[in-house]
Amino acid sequence: MRHLNLSLATALLLATALLVATPRAQGAEVARGDPAVEVATLPRGAEGEDTALLRQSGSIAKYVCTLAAVRLENAGLLSLDSPVSELLPSYRGASDPDLTLRRLLENRSGLEDGLSPALSQDRGLLTAAIPSAEAANRFSVARSPVPPGQAFSYVNSNWVLVQAILEQATGQNLAVVIDEWVLTPAGADGAYIFTGQLDGPGTARAEGSPTPVPDFVSCAGGLAARPADLLAISAFPFTSSLFDDADRADLMRVSTPDEAYTLGGRFEWVRDRDGAVRRISWQTGSNGPWYASAIYDPETGHGFAAMTASSRDELNGLQDAWLAGQGLGRLDRDAGVDH
């Protein structure tokens, strides 16, 4: 991870934004004086990034599980292009050669959303302990009329299957898999996979009552982290020798242009101050009041991450200030040309 000098413009913009940061909404409980938004930057910015409070990262967990899958492929433990029926022998869904792990990571599997209706009918599932392979057979079997690879469908049933495949490939619980293959080598020292509610020492308190994260849906939203952890994760595939150029190209290859979606996350178009256009990593996630954003520019090694449980508008203002300081402007998703 490169550690360069933070530009004066960026520093001033961030400092100004932080000075005008607003407290949580009037009347909302503020636990232990928790800051509404916490921020980390690359190059390293303000002190205290490593002591920030833990927050839920939402769908950034999908990107983390994708990085694990790429590393496991490099280790010969699975292939992104193998059918699910081969990767998970206990799977009772259709044996379709086009239903591959890659299609799951792209959210283009052709599977119906079998999870949301089940959770609506039985809220007890939110706290039930169900082995991931069993959960895959309960919630990730029904097929839509659209074949795999033909349409984008952002359903968590895909990620129940991804979790089951990662655990099958390694013989380990997902929390161990993610720690060993992603978080520890990335240097994301404060991050971990959680289930249920995120609480306890060192965690921010969310407004309201966020939906619990079942243990079999961890790849969809079960990552606890600090902003600095999200930047370590975002930089990981671009700065570590554990990934090669083919891996990086794979991670950045857009499968659904109008969503800027690649494998497990998004890479958005930006234009720099010289007029050059490129894609940069732009990962976001949410669960009720929890919201996280992590931006990383592989070309410069610069990045910004922010997390909140109460003030998304403030987070967006800080993010816009950072982008302006970098001389980057976000473009419409159809503005660039992928080669």
- Split the chain (339 residues) into runs of 10 and give each run's mean pLDDT: 35 35 28 72 71 92 98 98 98 94 98 95 94 97 95 97 98 98 97 93 86 96 97 98 98 97 98 96 95 97 94 91 96 73
Cβ proximity of 285 and 61 under 8 Å: yes
Distance CA 296, CA 153 (A): 25
Q: Tokens standing for 120? A: 């609506």
CA of 142: how far to CAs of 64, 108, 109, 146, 310, in Å?
26, 14, 11, 12, 36
CB atoms under 10 Å from CB of 126, counted, come to 14
Element containing residue 160 per DSSP (H, E): helix 157-170
pTM, whole model, 2 decimals?
0.89
Output the pLDDT for position 338.
Answer: 58
Q: Tell me how many degrees the CA angle 49-280-254 measures, rounded to the nearest 5.
A: 130
Cβ proximity of 177 and 135 under 8 Å: no
Output the pLDDT for position 50.
Answer: 65
Element containing residue 177 per DSSP (H, E): helix 174-178
Q: How many CA atoms lie within 13 A of 174 on its CB side?
A: 32
Q: Of how many residues is the chain composed?
A: 339
Output the pLDDT for position 233.
Answer: 98
CB atoms under 10 Å from CB of 20, counted, come to 8
CATH numbers and ranges of domains, the chain: 8-330 (3.40.710.10)
Output the pLDDT for position 35.
Answer: 78
Element containing residue 286 per DSSP (H, E): strand 277-287
316, amino acid identity: N
245-252 vs 227-239: helix crossing angle, rounded to 10:
120
Distance CA 323, CA 316 (A): 10
Output the pLDDT for position 17.
Answer: 37
Output the pLDDT for position 34.
Answer: 64
- Check residue 163 and report its DSSP letter: H
CA of 51: how far to CAs of 38, 40, 121, 173, 204, in Å?
10, 11, 40, 27, 12
